[in-house]
Amino acid sequence: MSKLLEIKNLSVHFNLIGRHVQAVRGVDLDLNEGETLAIVGESGSGKSVTSKAIMGLIPNPPGEIVKGSSILFEGKDLVSYTEKQLEKVRGKEISMIFQDPMTALNPTMKIGKQIMEGLIKHQGMSKHDARNRAIELLKLVGIPKPEVRVDEYPHQFSGGMRQRVVIAIALACNPKVLIADEPTTALDVTIQAQILDLMRDLQKKTKTAIILITHDLGVVANMAQRVAVMYGGKVVETGMIDEIFYNPKHPYTWGLLSSMPKLHATTDKLLAIPGSPPDLANPPKGCPFAARCPYAMKVCTDHMPEYTELSSTQKAACWLLDERAPKVDPPETIGVGGTKNG
C-alpha cells in the first residue's frame, strides 16, 4: 500500500474578532490507498477543521492554513493549489459526506440534478448520460425506484435516504478519498447501522480510502483499520485499531475508551473525563490534556511531549512514555482489553 494522502505539520488558525483560535496545531496524518482511517476526538478537537482543510474548504477569512503546513495528495501539495485547481480535486479526487443529511442537500433542486452536477463538471458527461449515471448511483446506494426518485426533491426523502443520496453525490466521480464527517451522528441508531454497512460495501467495490471522523468508538471499531486520536488541535495518539483498543498508551485515549458505555458494565455510572477541553485561543504551552489528565506531572504543563514510537504503526505523544517517567497502568475501566498490556 502506498501513501495516498500525507498531511504534514498542518496548522489552521481562525482570526475571529478579538480572538485568534488555533484550531489545528501541527497535525501529521497519512492515509493509504483503500484503507479507512478514523479520526476520533471530542468536539473542538480539530477533526472537522482538518477534514475541511484537506478539501480546501476553510473559509478565508477568517480561517487560514498556516505557512509550513502541507497536505500532499499523490505527492502534490494541495495547500499551494489555487481555487481553480482545487475545484478539480474536490468531488473528483477527494469528496466529502456531511454530518446532517437534513441540511446537506439543496432543498430547491431535484436529487438527480444534485448528483449530476459533479458528473457533468468533472467527467464532461452529457445531461442524458449523467442522468443515467445518477439513477445507477441511486440504485447503488440502495434507493428503491431510482428512476422515479431521481426527479424528486430532498424533502420527499427521509433522513436515512437523504444520507444515501449524499453518499451517492460523494461517490459520483469515483473519488480516491472519501471524507465522512460524522456521517451517522444525525441519524437514528437502526439507520446508522444501515449507512455504515452501505459505506463498507461500497468501499469494497470502489476501493476508496475513507477518512472517518467520529466521536463514536463503536463506529470506529466497526469501520476503521487505523485510528488517530485528536485532542486540543493535535494528534495525541495513532495506531492500528487493535493497538488503540487493546494497548492504548495515551491517558486521553484511556479516558475516551473508559467513557464508552458498555453493555456488560458492572456499574450504572457513565464515566466521563472531568474538565473541559483547552481554549484554543490561548493553547497551553505543554500537553493540551495536562489540565484534565489524572497522571499529569510538572513537565506536562510546561513542555509538549514528542511522539514515542511504540511500534511501526503506533505512536503517542505523552510524557509517561518517557523513560524517566513513573510507570503507570491504564485504568481497568477502559474495558475492551486494557489489562492485557500489564
Partner 1 sequence: MGRYILKRIGYMCITFYVVITLTFLSMKMLPGTPFQNPKLTPTQINQLKHYYGLDQPIAVQYVKYMWNLLHGDMGGSFQFGNESVTALLMNKFPVSLDLGLEAIILGAVIGLLLGIIAGLHHGKAMDWSTMIFAAIGTSIPSFIFAGVLQYFLGVYVRAFPVAGWNGPSYHFLPVVSLAVGVVAEIALFMRTEMVEVINQDYIVTAQAKGLSRFTVVYKHAIRNALIPVVTILGPLTAAIITGSLVIENIFGIPGIGSQYVSSIVTNDYPMIMGTTELYAGLFILSIFVVDILYGVIDPRIRVSGGQA
Q: Of 173 and 317, which CB lies nearer to partner 1 in the complex structure?
A: 173
State the minimum distance, in angstroms, from the CB of residue 56 to partner 1.
9
State the minimum distance, in angstroms, from the CB of residue 205 to partner 1.
21
Residues that bind partner 1 (CB under 8 A): 55, 57, 83-84, 86-92, 95-96, 98, 100, 103-109, 114, 117-118, 121-122, 153, 155-156, 166, 169-170, 172
State the minimum distance, in angstroms, from the CB of residue 85 to partner 1.
11
Q: Of 104 and 212, which CB lies nearer to partner 1 in the complex structure?
A: 104
Q: Of 46 and 239, which CB lies nearer to partner 1 in the complex structure?
A: 46
Q: At what angle do helices 189-206 and 159-171 cross, to 10 degrees?
A: 20
Nearest by Cα to 214 from 206, 224, 200, 225: 224
| Dihedral in degrees, nearest 10, Cα atoms 178, 181, 185, 188 | -30
Distance between CA 315 and CA 308 in Å, rounded? 5
State the minimum distance, in angstroms, from the CB of residue 110 to partner 1.
8
State the minimum distance, in angstroms, from the CB of residue 153 to partner 1.
4
Q: Which pairs from 20-25 meet CB under 8 Å and 24+ separation?
A: 20/281, 21/280, 21/281, 22/233, 22/280, 22/281, 22/283, 23/49, 23/63, 23/233, 23/280, 24/49, 24/50, 24/53, 24/233, 25/232, 25/233, 25/234, 25/280, 25/283
Q: Of 118 and 251, which CB lies nearer to partner 1 in the complex structure?
A: 118
Q: Of 136 and 329, which CB lies nearer to partner 1 in the complex structure?
A: 136
State the minimum distance, in angstroms, from the CB of residue 51 to partner 1.
10
Nearest by Cα to 316 from 21, 28, 103, 37: 28
Q: Of 86 and 304, which CB lies nearer to partner 1 in the complex structure?
A: 86
